[in-house]
Each structure stands twice: as C-alpha cells, then as structure tokens.
Amino acid sequence: MFRAACLCLLAGIWCAAQAPAPRQAVQPQADAYRIGELVQAGALPRAELARLQTVEADRQDEAVLRRSLYGTVGLEGLTEEQGREMVAAAQRRLERRQQRLEEAKKLVEEGALPRMSLTPLLEEYDQARRVLDQALTRARLLEELAEMARAEVAVLSPAESTLPEPRPAVERFDGQAAFRIGLLRVIAADFEAEFGRALPISANGATALHRALGLDHRGRVDVALDPDQPEGVWLRNYLQKLRIPYYAFRRALRGRSTGPHIHIGPPSEPLRAGGG
C-alpha cells in the first residue's frame, strides 16, 4: 500500500511538471521567487519550483531559436557566435525532452503511468531532435561563410599570399569596369539559363560575419562556386568578358578547408567607423 501511494505521488508530481505553464508564468522570475518561498515554507513540493525553472529555461532557448533559426533573419544577418548559441539552445531543449521521456518511461515500467502517455513525449523528443539537426546544418553554413570572409581578410595581408603553392589559393582579376549590384540580376539570369539552377549566392553586400571581421562588404558579392569546376570557370569567363573584377578562392588561406568561392567586385576594405 505504501509503495502504491509513493508511485501515485511520483506520478502526480511528474504530471504536474508536464502541465503547460500557467498564465502568471509571463513573469517567470517573480513567480520563481514567490514559489521558491512557498517551497522553503513547505507549502509546495520542490518539483513545482523545478517545473517553473524548466519552463523559463525553455522559454529563453525558444527565444534564441526564434531569432536565429525560425525567424526571418537570413544567414547574412547572423554571426558565428549566434550560430553557436542557436545550436546550444537546440541541444538544451533536446536534453530536457530526453530527460522527461526517461522519467516517464520509469513511471510506465513501475505501473504509475499508462504506456500511451509516452506518445506525446516521443513526438516532442523527435521534434526537438529535428530542430537540433536544422540548427547544426545552419551553423555549419555559417562556419563556411565565416571561413570565406576570413579568406578575404587574408587577401589584405600580402605575406599570406606569397606562400609557395603548386596552385595559388587566390586568383585575382583586375577588371576596369565597375561592378554594380544591379548587374547581379543579369549574371544570375544567364547562369540559370546555362545551368538550370539558381546562382548560389552566399553573401550579397554587407553581412554580419563581414562586419564582425571588420570588413566593408558593401557592393561585393560572394558566390559559392569552385572556380575550377565548369560552373566556376563559366562565371570567371563571364566576368572577364565584362571586365568585372573578381577574386577566385580555392581554399581558406590559413590552411583550414572551406568551400571555395568567387568574390565579385573589388576586395573588401577595412570597415570604417559608421560604415556598413
């Protein structure tokens, strides 16, 4: 009888922990303080404070994901640090759901909860896992774009480009014509007509990554193409015919592998105060 009563109590506490946050959780810090006092006084179980803390942690992580993963901010508006925060938030949400699922499984094994109660928790866990996969993919793209931006930083350092190599890491074409962003629409249309897919633009003008590295990328465009593959060769020939300056990057100059790309326009300059 005593064991059954304990199981019922555990099940009740667990169910309370899964319940939606009450309306007053709009002020979670105040509620946590008030509930903390009630817990200390013995008027509420400690599980209620833990539940509220979990709800607040989930709310904060969800806010991070709304800004960096779900929101309208594109990759160009994010930094590497924000990418790492996004992955960490998704990882924490997954871990919390895994913990809830494991606790529920124990209660099911002990007969305190029906097995069907695991279904919504499994669905929540799967959803959180998919979100983490999306965050990791987005973060990897950010890292690749950051390496592209760092390669442009290295272009400004002559010492980097004098290292002997069988093939230069960067090839430069000093065209005499000015590159206007409006011309990008023409280039993109001709590329799509030639290859049947959209021009893979990775950075169009100023981006958060370039600003974080102190670079003014306005009026420049990065295209994620290998300069030595057919699509990259086509773009380089196209730009040369128009006498548009470009840089063809085969890899990051600091020895870290990254996706090659073609930088259209003059080199990115150091960002001045108030620029970009």
SS3 203: strand
Average confidence (pLDDT) over 107-119 = 91
Q: Which residues pair with 249 in a beta bridge?
A: 170, 261
Average confidence (pLDDT) over 105-114 = 91
Residue 39: per-residue pLDDT: 54
Q: 114-142 pLDDT, tens per residue? A: 999 999 999 999 999 999 999 999 888 88
Residue 205: per-residue pLDDT: 83
Work out the mean pLDDT of the chain and round it to a whole number.
78
Q: 223-243 pLDDT, tens per residue? A: 989 999 999 999 999 999 999
Residue 26: per-residue pLDDT: 43
Tally the residues of the chain.
276
Banded model confidence at residue 167, pLDDT cuts 50, 70, 90:
low
Residue 19: per-residue pLDDT: 44
Banded model confidence at residue 215, pLDDT cuts 50, 70, 90:
confident
User: Tokens 């199981």 label which residue?
Assistant: 7
Q: Is the pLDDT of residue 86 over 90?
A: yes
Cβ neighbour number for residue 138 with a 10 Å cutoff: 18
Percent of the chain residues past pLDDT 90, beyond the cut:
36
- Which residue would you say has higher pLDDT here, 204 or 145? 204
Residue 116: per-residue pLDDT: 93
Residue 2: per-residue pLDDT: 38
Domain boundaries along the sequence of the chain: 2-152, 168-270
Q: Which of 210, 75, 211 is nearest to 151 (CA)?
A: 210
Range scoring the smallest mean pLDDT among 145-159, 215-229, 235-249: 145-159
- Within 66-182, residue ranges assigned H as helices are 80-109, 118-155, 158-161
Residue 181: per-residue pLDDT: 78
Residue 208: per-residue pLDDT: 85
For 228-248, b where at least 16 C-beta lie within 10 A, e where not — what string?
eeebbeebbebbeeeebbbbb
